[in-house]
Amino acid sequence: MESKTVEEKERVVIRFAGDSGDGIQLSGNLFAAETALIGNDLVTLPDFPAEIRAPAGTLAGVSAFQIHFASREILTPGGRPNVLVAMNPAALKANIAELEPGGIVIANEDGFTKGNLGKAHYDESPLEDGSLDSYQLFRVPMTSMTVRATEGIDEISSRDAARSKNFFALGLVSWMYSRPTDSTITWIEKKFESKPPIRDANLAAFRAGFNFGETAELLQVSYSVKAAPAEPGTYRAVNGTTATAFGLIAASVRSGLPLFLASYPITPASEILHELSRQRRFGVRTVQAEDEIAAVNMALGAAFGGHLGITATSGPGMDLKAETIGLAVALELPMLVIDVQRAGPSTGMPTKTEAADLLSAIYGRHGESPLPVVAASTPADCFESALEAARIAVAYRTPVILLSDTFLANSSEPWRLPDVSELPEIDPAFATDADAGKFQPYARDDRGARPWAVPGTPGLAHVIGGLEKEDVTGQISYEPENHARMTELRAAKVAGIADEIGDLVPDDPDGADMLVLGWGSSYGAITGAARRIRRRGGKVACAHMRHLNPLPPNTGELLRSYEKVLIPETNSGQLWRIIRAEFLVDALRYNKVEGLPIFAEELDEVISAHL
Amino acid sequence: MSETSISKGNGHPANGDGATVTLTKKDFASEAETRWCPGCGDYAILATVQQFLPEMGIPPEKIVFVAGIGCSGRFAYYMSTYGVHGIHGRAPALATGLAVARPDLSVWVVTGDGDSLSIGGNHLIHALRRNVPINILLFNNQIYGLTKGQYSPTSEEGKVTKSTPFGSQDHPFNPVALSLGADASFVARTVDTDRDHESEVLRAAAAHRGSSFVEIYQNCNVFNDGAFDAVRAKGKEANQIRLVDGEPIRFGVEGERGVVRGANGRLELADVAEVGEDALVVHDADDPTLAYALARLADRPTGPTPLGVIRASDRPTYAEGVGEELATAREGLGDDDIASLLRSGDTWTID
């Protein structure tokens, strides 16, 4: 409508919220795809309940999806939303406190029935009682308008039609933020190709929502967010799960090692199993194991057979795999263990993020059993981190733990695709039958790595096991001095990786006195907070670790060169403890264990208080 | 020492193109000093396996022995094949990963009653259910030997051991019944000291497509001596019900006894002279109900006990044929394929 105005925004945070059966995650992801195609920078944060279908309308069943998009580079999914789309009273109740003052509420009026109000413990409708007066409230009867829009589609009952209301909401918000609709329309057409009535209902709902925004007098303003400046290149949106899977496949192709993944279903790591199970065209072999212990043993067995053996899990699975990971340390075979961390202890909060497995990854096995630990920092970085973890595993003949977390796994961001030819080389360098006759399974190369001799190679038949081995020969040995030497050799091999990983390079344009040190998914929040502070003229440095064991060689020196070091983590201070123990640096810490990532805004306040 | 030269395939791909391979027992014996207790049944099993393996015509480098923890766990070290001595109970899982990754290998699991029926029970049943192409040899001595004499999941009720001074209250597993319950496609039982019978069973197990499960009655002369005397001791041969597929089930010194179906349909023992030869049950290794009935004929090895191949049925092995498909898919993969993978889905370009 010509009478409507378009306002330009630099950045917007929208949260979609509804019942876990409402298709909120789907709407959010499609909105993110539309946003990516505009060229906005974006970060998303899904937040869903562990229950597949909690009772409809209850607070426990609220599912939410937040997207932060901007015409400049952004690094976090945003703190307080500017817009809340609430499909029912429970969704409103669970999220309204975080909406910015004066923010926009788009409520599905039809969802605010007496029954739903009761389930959300509202005595009166918040749409009526004035409690939302400090916000811009838009009441839209989404369900009934969806039903009306789908009238005339054969084989669709009004009950079925009502299920398309998430597409109405998506259409409306797409109009409000001037999103292109093609990608969503194409997606619906493809996804429901075999179910024409559902396809048509979803399309009708989506268009009705868009048209409602355009024509209804209720909404007078729409917004646009221009493309963010970005480096030239080809981009795609990617979440941590997909990036991890792609990194593993790239490692497999680059090394020539067949990819073998064995996993036991566990939230949120199952998605890696799902993603890789589809990739038979890359020769990817997946096994859904009978349990976590079996999964890691299968990966180890495949590694013995000369494959890139991988298992993916989350915290509870890590505990179960510990003994086998120790075996892999003793066998000195390449193996990748991916831990998509989630809130613990025990079952904890399976769908909520936390990065509290660092100490258990580094130390969580009996005996002296060192292994390399690598952590991804952003969804797209999961690709490079997975490749790096695989490279280390193969080069050093060692199990490697790759740490990701729920936030990285589910969150997505634009990814400038790398030049494949510049990805690292991975050379399996198998022992060959040229070594027959003089083969020593525990001889070591310059890196301290032993030969990888796979069954089928004549003349290299050997037996390896969890019993302590004699240096060089690999025969069973209980010799005191040998055990001390082997302990030292295993430790030195892992420590020696530091020589290859390079120094920790701080981002410090202004010569700051304070360094913020991070690892894992706090990268976005730390970098974002630093930028906010610098925009105000403040000085702060930041540095982020991909390698947690061994640490970069200059770590101690770098940290000591700053007056203050602050370590923010979504745990109770695990890297902080290591830094203090290893380097006697009296670092400060900021810890958040709420099942949520750290946000730039909150970290800005924390850092500023120390400056 | 036997020397065998064979050129025909035994159904296992490790036998490759059927090329003639001449191997002897010493090709499979490692230089490691065997360290089981003197008189242990494991020595006899090791000798039989080393003697049998040349028959397969598979070179040692194409064979892998995977062992768990326990006295049986040492087995891998005494073979000159490839081997992995894993952790307690997990050998079937490790072997599954290996066999699935490398269908060209002949993979053998050596385990004990504690290893595979207690701590590793889950992996055993799932390997059998999947019909992964591995051969599982369960050395059953009805006791924990390496940890010095606690009762095991196959020890009899009332067993007095260090950990059960007042007698065990656990009901034991019948390994054959358990494996049949897990839908094992091949189940057999043999005795450690009976080299000929054991070789025959190993031969059938090796030729079987998919998982084979072989329970070997193994005497632990230190902690559970004589546990199988009713079947294994000299003079007790009459208690060995040796099964032959397609043949009436007879046993006894002169074959004077046999297995018949009772009025209620259950298997019973009878004198052949009394019931007549036609009344004898004919062994059919493909019949799952008969296999289970035979497993239950002797819940404990205290009297007449079925030995030999109890069940052998053909069903698809785990992910059969997928390995070839995947290997073909990998041919010629390169950077371009990675690039196209990364570009799958919606992309946009910034100039």
The residue-averaged pLDDT of A465-494 equals 97
- Whether A585 contacts A579, CB under 8 Å: yes
The residue-averaged pLDDT of A464-491 equals 97
Q: Do A327 and B86 touch (CB under 8 A)?
A: yes
> Distance from A305 to chain B by nearest Cα, in Å?
6
- The three-state secondary structure class of A581 is helix
B201 in contact with chain A, both atoms CB, cutoff 8 A: no
Q: What count of other Cβ atoms lies within 10 Å of the Cβ of residue B1?
A: 8
**From B95, B343, B345, residue closest to A301, measured CB to CB:** B95
Q: What count of other Cβ atoms lies within 10 Å of the Cβ of residue A199?
A: 17
Query: Tokens 């819940």 appear where?
Result: B299
ipTM: 0.95
Please name the helix (run of DSSP H) or strand (run of DSSP E) that holds residue A498, with its range, or none.
helix A498-501
pLDDT score of B14: 52
Most confident option among A289-293, A349-353, A411-415: A289-293
Contacts of B311 (CB under 8 A, 6+ apart): B180, B184, B185, B186, B187, B285, B286, B288, B291
Q: How far apart are CA B325 and CA B328, in angstroms?
A: 5
- Whether A326 contacts A295, CB under 8 Å: no
Q: How far apart are CA B47 and CA B78, in angstroms?
A: 10
Q: How far apart are CA A312 and CA A405, in angstroms?
A: 12
Q: Do A302 and B100 touch (CB under 8 A)?
A: yes
Contacts of A97 (CB under 8 A, 6+ apart): none
**From A285, A303, A456, residue closest to B104, measured CB to CB:** A456
Q: How far apart are CA A610 and CA A562, in angstroms?
A: 13
pLDDT at B10 over 70: no
In terms of CA atoms, which chain A residue is nearest residue B129?
A290
Percentage helix, strand, coil for chain B under 3-state DSSP, each rounded to 5: 35, 20, 45
Q: How far apart are CA B200 and CA B243, in angstroms?
A: 12
Lowest mean pLDDT among A347-361, A368-382, B318-332: B318-332
The residue-averaged pLDDT of A256-275 equals 97
B64 in contact with chain A, both atoms CB, cutoff 8 A: yes
> Distance from A242 to chain B by nearest Cα, in Å?
10
pLDDT score of A160: 84
Q: How far apart are CA B125 and CA B142, in angstroms?
A: 19
- Whether B313 contacts B285, CB under 8 Å: yes
Q: How far apart are CA B286 and CA B308, in angstroms?
A: 14
- pLDDT category of residue B17 using cuts at 50, 70 and 90: very low
In terms of CA atoms, which chain B residue is nearest residue A475?
B32
B residues 89-128 lying closer than 8 A (beta carbon) to A: 90, 93-102, 104-105, 122-123, 126
Q: In A427-523, where do the E strands start and end?
A: 463-465, 514-519
The phi and psi torsions of B137 (rounded to 5 degrees) equal -105, 110
pLDDT score of A31: 96
Q: How far apart are CA B246 and CA B265, in angstroms?
A: 20
B246 in contact with chain A, both atoms CB, cutoff 8 A: no
Q: How is residue A392 written in tokens?
A: 């280390």
- The three-state secondary structure class of A555 is helix
- pLDDT category of residue A47 using cuts at 50, 70 and 90: confident
- pLDDT category of residue A55 using cuts at 50, 70 and 90: confident
Q: Do B333 and A253 touch (CB under 8 A)?
A: yes
The phi and psi torsions of B23 (rounded to 5 degrees) equal -135, 160
Q: Do A250 and B338 touch (CB under 8 A)?
A: yes
> Distance from A383 to chain B by nearest Cα, in Å?
10
* Higher pLDDT pick, A157 / A129: A129
- Neighboring chain B residues of A300 at a CB cutoff of 8 Å: 86, 94, 97
**From B60, B81, B100, residue closest to A285, measured CB to CB:** B100
H runs (alpha helix) in A64-128:
89-95, 114-119
Query: A495, exposed or middle or buried, with CB in 10 Å at 0-12, 13-18, 19+?
Result: middle
Q: Do B349 and A280 touch (CB under 8 A)?
A: no
Helical pair A240-255 and B335-342, crossing angle rounded to 10 deg: 170
Q: Are strands B250-251 and B257-261 parallel, antiparallel or unpaired?
A: antiparallel
H runs (alpha helix) in A42-141:
89-95, 114-119
Q: How is residue A183 written in tokens?
A: 């990608």
Task: Please spell the DSSP secondary structure of B70-100, one letter per residue.
Answer: SGGGGGGGGBSSEEEE--TT-HHHHHHHHHH
Q: Are strands A83-86 and B135-140 parallel, antiparallel or unpaired?
A: unpaired
Q: What is the mean pLDDT of chain B?
A: 93
B341 in contact with chain A, both atoms CB, cutoff 8 A: yes
pLDDT at B6 over 90: no
**From A233, A291, A465, residue closest to B84, measured CB to CB:** A465
Percentage helix, strand, coil for chain A under 3-state DSSP, each rounded to 5: 40, 20, 40
B71 in contact with chain A, both atoms CB, cutoff 8 A: no
Q: How far apart are CA A400 and CA A370, in angstroms?
A: 10
List pLDDT tens digits, range B113-143: 999 999 999 999 999 999 999 999 999 999 9
- Neighboring chain B residues of A303 at a CB cutoff of 8 Å: 97
Q: Do A306 and B102 touch (CB under 8 A)?
A: yes
Q: Do B346 and A230 touch (CB under 8 A)?
A: no
Provide the percentage of residues in chain B whose pLDDT is more than 70: 94
**From A258, A301, A417, residue closest to B330, measured CB to CB:** A258
> Distance from A270 to chain B by nearest Cα, in Å?
19
Query: Tokens 């040190």 appear where?
Result: A517
In terms of CA atoms, which chain A residue is nearest residue B104?
A456
pLDDT score of A158: 81
> Distance from B108 to chain A by nearest Cα, in Å?
13
Read off the amino acid at residue B77.
Answer: Y
Q: Do A283 and B327 touch (CB under 8 A)?
A: yes
pLDDT score of B7: 33
Q: Do A463 and B87 touch (CB under 8 A)?
A: no
List pLDDT tens digits, range A82-137: 999 999 999 999 999 999 999 999 999 999 999 999 999 999 999 999 999 999 99
List pLDDT tens digits, range B174-204: 999 999 999 999 999 999 999 999 999 999 9
Q: Are strands A463-465 and A547-549 parallel, antiparallel or unpaired?
A: unpaired
B66 in contact with chain A, both atoms CB, cutoff 8 A: yes
Q: Do B346 and A236 touch (CB under 8 A)?
A: yes
Give, in order, the Cα–Cα distances in Å from A488 to each of A325, A364, A478: 18, 18, 15
> Distance from B233 to chain A by nearest Cα, in Å?
34
Q: How far apart are CA B317 and CA B306, in angstroms?
A: 26
Helix count (H) and strand count (E) of chain B? 11, 14
- Neighboring chain B residues of A187 at a CB cutoff of 8 Å: none
CA-CA-CA-CA torsion for A496, A497, A502, A508, nearest 10 degrees? -100
- Whether A586 contacts A580, CB under 8 Å: yes
Q: Among A297, A320, A382, which would you mutate to test the B interface (most chain B Cβ atoms within 10 Å of its Cβ)?
A: A297
B87 in contact with chain A, both atoms CB, cutoff 8 A: yes
pLDDT at B331 over 60: yes
List pLDDT tens digits, range A233-248: 999 999 999 999 999 9
> Distance from B109 to chain A by nearest Cα, in Å?
12
Q: What is the mean pLDDT of chain A?
A: 95
The residue-averaged pLDDT of A478-495 equals 98
- pLDDT category of residue A3 using cuts at 50, 70 and 90: low
List pLDDT tens digits, range A504-559: 999 999 999 999 999 999 999 999 999 999 999 999 999 999 999 999 999 999 99
Task: Please spell the DSSP secondary structure of B91-158, one letter per residue.
Answer: HHHHHHHHHHH-TTSEEEEEEEHHIIIIITHHHHHHHHHHT-S-EEEEEE-SB-TTTTS-B-TTSPTT
Q: Among B34, B82, B131, which would you mutate to test the A interface (most chain A Cβ atoms within 10 Å of its Cβ)?
A: B82
Q: Do A418 and B342 touch (CB under 8 A)?
A: yes
Q: How far apart are CA B150 and CA A108, in angstroms?
A: 67
pLDDT score of B9: 34
Give, in order, the Cα–Cα distances in Å from A255 to each of A345, A427, A609, B109: 37, 6, 48, 30
Lowest mean pLDDT among A225-229, B211-215, B309-313: A225-229
